[in-house]
Structures are given as C-alpha cells and as structure tokens.
Chains A and B, each alone.
Chain A
Amino acid sequence: MSLAVLTPKIGLRISLSRDDLMMRGALVALVVMLLLIVGLPLWALLAKGFEDSDGKFVGLANYVSYFSTPALVNSALNSLHVSAVCTLIVVPISFLYAYALTRTVLPMRWLFQGVALIPIFAPSLLPGLALIYLFGNQGFFKALLDGGSIYGFDGMVIAQVFYCFPHATMILVTALATADARLYEAADALGASKLRVFFTVTLPGAKYGLISAALVVFTMVMTDFGIAKVIAGNFNVLATDVYKQVIGQQNFSMGAVVGMVLLAPAALAFVVDRLVQRKQVALLTARAVPLIPRPKPGRDAFFTIFCTIVCLWILTILGMAAWGSLIKYWPYNLSLTFANYEFGNFDSNGWGSYFNSLWMAAGAAIVGTAIMFVGAWLNEKTKGFGLVRGLVQLLAFLPMAVPGLVLGLGYIFFFNAPNNPLNFLYATMAILVINTVAHFYTVGHLTATTALKQIDPEFESVSASLKVPIWKTFGRVTVPICLPAILDIAIYLFVNAMTTVSSVIFLYAPDTKLASVAAVNIEEAGATAAAAALCLVIVVTSAAVKALHLLVDRFLLGRLQAWRRR
C-alpha cells in the first residue's frame, strides 16, 4: 500500500481526536486522583484482611475463620433484609414525591422541596434521638407500639427511611426534571391512556434514576452505622460487626474482612449500572421541548395531600428533636432552657467545632463539585477508552459501599505512611475535605451523570462539525443546562460534610474537630439534649444554605434556564 493512501487517514484521525486526546489525558488524571483518594486508601485497610495481627501474610485464613462463625450469616442476612425493606419503602415514596415536585402543580412547591431535604441536613444521630423521645420507653407515643419496642428492626427501618428519603428524592428529581413535552403531546394525540403514558414514557425516562436511587438507598442502609448504633438494639448488621472488630477489639484484619464483604453490594451496583447504561438513551434531544406541568385539580390535590403527609412526618421528627434540645433533664424535669446551646459546657471546643465544620463543608462543596462534575462529564463524553471509563465508574461507585470507618482508617494507613509524599496532608483540614469528597463521591457522580445523560450528544456532534472545541461546548452549553444539577451537588456535599461522622472521626486534629463529631461525643457523655441542640444548629445552618440556593435558583438561574420554558 502506498504512503499516499495512508497519510490522509492518519491526518483524519489526528484532526478528529484532538479533543479526544485531551479528554483522555484528563480522564487518566481523574483515575489517578480517584486512586489516590479512594482506591489506595481503601486497599491500605482491606489488604489487612490477608494479614494476621503482626502483619504477616496469612492468605484467606481470616476469611475462613470469619465465614465459619454463625454470627456472620446472621448479620449478613439482617443487613440484606433491612436494606431491601428500606429500599422497597423509600424508592416508591421518593418517586411519587419527585414526581409531584416535577410533574404536577403544587401550591408552595418551594416549601415541599425544602422540607423534603431536612433529613439530609441532620446528622444520623438526630432521627435516632427523636425516635427515642417519641417511641422510647419514656416516649410520648410509646402506647402506639402496643407493647413493642422501638429498639430493633422496626426502629431501624423508620430511622433509615427518614435518613435515605432525600438522597433518593434528589436523584429522582434530577431524573424527572427533564422531559420532552413532544413525547407527551404525541402520546396524547395518539389517544394513549394516562397509565399507558406513565409506563411507556415517564417510567422508561426515569429508569436510570430509579435504578440509581435504589442502589444508593440499598448501599446506604447496608453501610450506615450511626443509626444502627443508636436504635438497632440487638439486631446485628454487618456495619455493627465492622464497628465491633475495629473499635471494640482493634482487630483491623477482621474489620477488613467484613469491610470486604460489604463491598459486594457495590460490585453488584456497578454491574447493574453498566448494564442499564448500555440501554440508556438521551431524553433531552437538541430538538426537545421542555415539559411544563399544567394544573389538573384531581391529580394536584392528591399529590398535595401525599406531600403534606410526608412533610408532616419529617417535621414531627425534627420538631421532637428541637423540643428535646430545650428540655432540662429528660424525662424527669421537662422545664425548658437554652443552656443546652452553650456548647462550651459540653465540649471543650465549644462553638469552635461548628466553625471548623463550616470551613470544611465549604471546601468540600467547591472542590468536590468541580471534580465530580468535570469528572462525570469527561467520563460521559470521552469517545472509546472503555477500560479507563469503566475504572472511573468503578472507583466512583466504591465509596458508597464502604463503611465510613473503613475509609477513615484506610486514610490513616495510606496518608500517614512515613514514605507517602502526601503525608503532609495528614492532620490538616485538607485531609478532612479530601476524605469527605471521596466519601460522598458516588451520589455526586451519579447526579452529574444522570443530568449529563439527558443532554443529547448531538450538541457535541454539532459543535465538532462547526469546529467549536469541546470545552467551549462544555462551558456554553453543558454547564448552563446542568447548572441546577451542579448546584444540587454542591449543596449535597455541603450538607453531608456538615453531618459526616464515621470517617472523619479518625482524621481530625486538635484544631480541626468538627461539629458532627462533637455531637456524637456529647451524646456519648449522656448530654442528650445538648447533642440534639448541636444537631439542630447543623440542620438550621444547612437549611439556610439551601434557602440561599433556592433564591439563587429562582433569580439567577431563571435566566439561564429560560430555554426550558416555552
């Protein structure tokens, strides 16, 4: 074959892939970063599962001894059971709620939107404390339990549903927010029934979101320890097993074994995601016409009532904690006081830990959002390069399935290693920021991916054919379209950084103690009311930040999102 024939081909390939090459480079950088903040720290701990307590390699001996204890099977079944039940409860409620927010006309929609997020603003300690005030042995509504106890499976399900609801709702709102009105018009014109439209247009459009939400809820319940510790009673789950091994017995090898078992759902989630992704089609094509819900009295009334019930339930739990925070000595002295808000009396850092939390949360929101969104975009828009993209997806899914204390200890082993050039980060605020971004990577990544999937790849193709560099399309088309999702991710990171405990509890230094950790310590010392008070301060802060977000959404984004309206 002559050279003349080959040359144009090579030339063509290079001109086609200039953007691609850069994106591939950036994607490799992303993988390296994810390895540093997720993969390697995790391995630093999980590798201990193959060592004895002196650090000698023992192969699978720890696994054999763990799998031969009947307690494991019991805990694993309990974990699966409670996770499945919570998923089956949360996902339908969240779907209806998200549907109400995006596809119906609600009076005071902003209020319903805000209240739904309250659980995410609260440290997981809060629902536990509130449930004990409500249904504990001294609780107001104990009679309702008819002799039953809130400590155990039921209490855990109630608290977990409260805790997971906003996470699932957030994903589903993103999934339902963008729809092509033309599909509905077409269905209408063809005389399809409402039910048929729902099952052939609405549901398939939200499929990716639904599956993501289910995976997120399932793994969250699986790995959460905070709620299990307060309310699960003698109902053993894998997350409490990790705690027993790591905190109770300092047996890192066994802790690593249980941590590895917990990774199984993540692996499953990863496979499911891959399968679904292959079939996902962009909903919002370049010619799409955004769907604007029109008033429909019957439907709107139904959803208003539904949302009101959900909101009342959330507000009852919050209100109980608020009232509890003012009580002098539960349940023997119910007079009210503000003394529980003088945190200096309960924790030597006083309000200092609160300001540390603010800094940490702001840092995590800014750095994390940038990384997660750009990362998800690179992963979606890079052509080919399947192996690296798969690796990104895998690393992005891992944090969800890892109990915080496994990640936190992994950070000590990895970042504190004497030969790690990054060990200057250890015991600084920066490591708390990095750890938080890593810990909450999955939902941010999924939200960004869900938003990006709804944009027609045609935008990029058109840009490419017009010789507009891809980053320009990113800046002028992708980011403005996705701005609501980007802000959602930032808020999500902020509020989670305000409440996270299980991982950062190992990483704070004398001057970087966080409010969420302080609340746990205060509760352990018996000052339940002060712990509730600190939880409430955290809730109010996050709510204020969220209110700011809604204002920005309304006034600033109004212009950028004008295209969504007809």
Chain B
Amino acid sequence: MSPDGENKMGKTSILRRVVLAGATVLAATSFGTGAWAQKTKLTVYTALENEQLEPFKKAFEADNPTIEIAWVRDSTGVVTAKLIAEKDNPRADVIWGLAASSVGLFAGMGMIEPYTPAGAAALKPMFKSGKNPEIWVGMDAFLAVVCFNNAEAAKGKKAKPASWADLTKPEYKDSIVMPNPASSGTGYLTIAGWLTIMGEDAGWKFMDALHQNVAQYLHSGSAPCVQAAKGERLIGIGFDMRGATEKTKGAPIDLIVPKEGLGWEMEATAIVKGTKNLEAAKKLADWASSLKANELYGKYYAIVANPAVKSMPANYPPDGEKMMAKMDVEWMAKNRARILAEWTKRYDGKSAPKAK
C-alpha cells in the first residue's frame, strides 16, 4: 500500500473509532428507553415528595393495569422551569402533584389540555380551577407554618411564639430562617399570605420588623423547617409537611399556626396539551380526583380536596385548615413581579453585609 493510502486509512480510522465509540454508547444507552410496548407508558411530571411516589404509582396501576407511570420528579422550581422550557415539544403527559400556581402559569401559555375528571364534582370548590372544563384539579393543600425547636428554645430560654407579630420580638434576633421568595414558591406564598392577611402597608411593615430577626433567607421551601428540626436554627418558616415528617423522625419541634392566619398553596393535577396518550392521561386525571386517591393524599397531608376525607397525619397542626388566608391566586400571579422586586429591594440587596 502506498504511504498516501495508508495515510488516508489511518486518518479515517481514528475518526471512525471516535464516531464508533460514540455510537456504541448511544446504542447501549438508548436500549433502556423504548422497549415496553405492551403497557401505555405515561410520563408524569411531579414535585411530590419522594416517599409518596411509589405508593401513588402502585395504587393507580393496581386499578389501571394497562397503564404504567414513569415519574420525572424534582423540586417545584426545577419541574416548572423544565415544563416551560419543553413547551414547544412537550415530553410530559400528565402533571400530578405540582403547585397550582405553576399549572396556572402553564395554562396562560396554552400548555394545558382542559378536562373535567369524573370525580371533580365531589371536591371542595376551592380545589378546582373553576373553569369548564377544568384546567386543573387540586389534590391537597400545604401551609407555610412556623417550625419551632423546643430543645434549642429551652437552652436559650426563649418563649414559644403564637403569632406572626411575636416573631418580630427582639429575643428572636438572628434565629429565624425563611425561604427567599425570589428562589422559592413557598417563600412567595408566605409573603403573599402576609400581604393578604395584613394588607400591603402593614404587611411590608411587618416584614421590615421580621427582617431584623431573620438570620438567612434560604433557597428552598423545605429547608427552613429542616434547619429548625436539626437545631441549626430556632425557628423556620416553611412547608408544613416537611416539619411534620421531621417531627415524626424524632425532631424536637412543634408546628405552629400563627393566629393571624397563613399563606398556603395546593398541589394539582392537569393534562399536558399535545400528549400522545390522551385516553390514558384522562384515566389518571379521573383517578387522581377519586375518593380513593384523596384517601391516599390524606395519609400525607392534613388538608385534601375531597371533603369526605377527614385526615390528620401524625404531627400536623390540627387547626391549619380554618386558618388558611383567603388567597387570590390571580392577584398573586399578577403582582408577583412587583412584589418580588419590592422584596428584593428591601431585604435582598442590603442583606449581604450581615453575612460577615
């Protein structure tokens, strides 16, 4: 063989090897995906807690043996961002267990297939979008409560707060954590709750006072109660369910529902427009609004959509439901940018020097 021929061969063979290596990995890895032909595979996007995924999937599949659920689960912010980014070529069939405000956002972008599930009539009106057909149907509500660490309070001889106003007392200086509303949906519903209960002027005044006691604004809605549970902070304002499960695991905390009332959010179910499995998606939406499903939600949450389900999982505050503020979801969505800008101006920009 001439040197030239060899030259060419060698060159291409190096390249070919690179390409082949790539192709092999591609082939090897893509086997994992499309092999199941028998069952309808529903891709379900969710922000449900990890421990809920398996029981929810099993219960639904037991009643619908021809359908299989494949979860894509992450925190509310990540799942919401992912769904919006995939808007032009949706990958999800159903959203099951994501904040209703996120689903409302999707509806505004034309991403939701309206459908009124079979069991919807039986649900509390608050837990429905109110449109016909429904855009989304609620499952359960979660509250932004106060998680209070009794063990640390005993060490520092701190009194237990009973109201939001109590949290502004000087004895709690630098001992409160709450989610940053610019990073966390729970954070936003917390401050929207205050603005709703107290009105805008008093609400901002309250936050000015609270800011003196806040040690840190965290980037997640679960983290504050987790930090309170682990004694990292005395008080965490955050997602109730997380606080209840930490208490069950042995954390010396109490969940307090402040007497002024509190902000809340619900998790909802909706069908993604453009799904290739519309029939199966409808079956899941039907099941998700059924009494059976609501009983399942009731194992984890104190407040669920179906009024027939009276549930009180361990360590939830008993009076949460009646203290829920009258939240105007539309107002919350419309004023979000303005409120966050104001919040950031007041607290985020000047909070840095405190860190040192």
Q: Name B10's contact: one of A234, A247, A469, A509 (CB within 8 Å).
A: A469
Q: 1/0 contact trace for B145-179 toward A, CB 8 Å? A: 00000010000000000000000000000000000
* With contact pairs A247-B81, A469-B7 given, residues A332 and B184 touching in the complex (Cβ less than 8 Å): no
Of the listed stretches A187-195, A269-277, A428-436, A445-453, chain B binds A428-436
Q: Name B216's contact: one of A234, A248, A329, A506 (CB within 8 Å).
A: A234
A346: interface (CB < 8 Å): yes
A residues within 8 Å of B by Cβ? Answer: 18-19, 22, 26, 29, 69-71, 74, 78, 132, 136-138, 149, 151-154, 229, 232-236, 240, 243-244, 246-250, 252, 328-333, 345-348, 359, 363, 366-367, 370-371, 374, 409, 412-413, 416-418, 423, 425-430, 433, 467, 469, 471-472, 474-475, 505-506, 508-512, 517, 521-522, 524-526, 528
Q: Judging by beta carbons under 8 Å apart, are A233 and B78 in contact?
A: no
Q: Judging by beta carbons under 8 Å apart, are A363 and B25 in contact?
A: yes
Q: Judging by beta carbons under 8 Å apart, are A374 and B344 in contact?
A: no
Q: What are the residues of chain A within 8 A of B78 when measuring CB–CB?
A: 247, 505-506
Assembled-state Cα–Cα distance A8/B71 (Å): 68
- Nearest to B349 among chain A residues (CB) is A71
Number of interface residues of B (CB under 8 A): 85
Q: Name B85's contact: one of A70, A78, A345, A416 (CB within 8 Å).
A: A416
- Nearest to B31 among chain A residues (CB) is A429
Of the listed stretches B46-54, B192-200, B202-210, B265-273, chain A binds B46-54
Assembled-state Cα–Cα distance A70/B352 (Å): 12
Q: How far is the CB of A400 from chain B (nearest CB, A)?
A: 23
Assembled-state Cα–Cα distance A475/B11 (Å): 11
B82: interface (CB < 8 Å): yes
B312: interface (CB < 8 Å): no
Q: What are the residues of chain B within 8 A of A137 when measuring CB–CB?
A: 231-233
B39: interface (CB < 8 Å): no
Q: How far is the CB of B116 from chain A (nearest CB, A)?
A: 27
Assembled-state Cα–Cα distance A332/B253 (Å): 11
Q: What are the residues of chain B within 8 A of A331 when measuring CB–CB?
A: 230-231
Q: What are the residues of chain A within 8 A of B232 when measuring CB–CB?
A: 132, 136-138
Q: How far is the CB of B148 from chain A (nearest CB, A)?
A: 15
Q: What are the residues of chain A within 8 A of B341 when measuring CB–CB?
A: 69
Q: 19 more A-B contacts (CB under 8 A) besides A467-B3, A509-B33, A525-B242?
A: A70-B345, A70-B349, A138-B230, A152-B356, A235-B352, A244-B180, A248-B182, A347-B50, A348-B50, A348-B54, A359-B29, A366-B25, A367-B25, A374-B14, A416-B85, A429-B29, A433-B25, A471-B11, A528-B230
B131: interface (CB < 8 Å): no
Q: Name B18's contact: one of A74, A252, A371, A521 (CB within 8 Å).
A: A371
Assembled-state Cα–Cα distance A418/B105 (Å): 22
- Nearest to B353 among chain A residues (CB) is A234
* With contact pairs A132-B232, A471-B11 given, residues A234 and B355 touching in the complex (Cβ less than 8 Å): yes
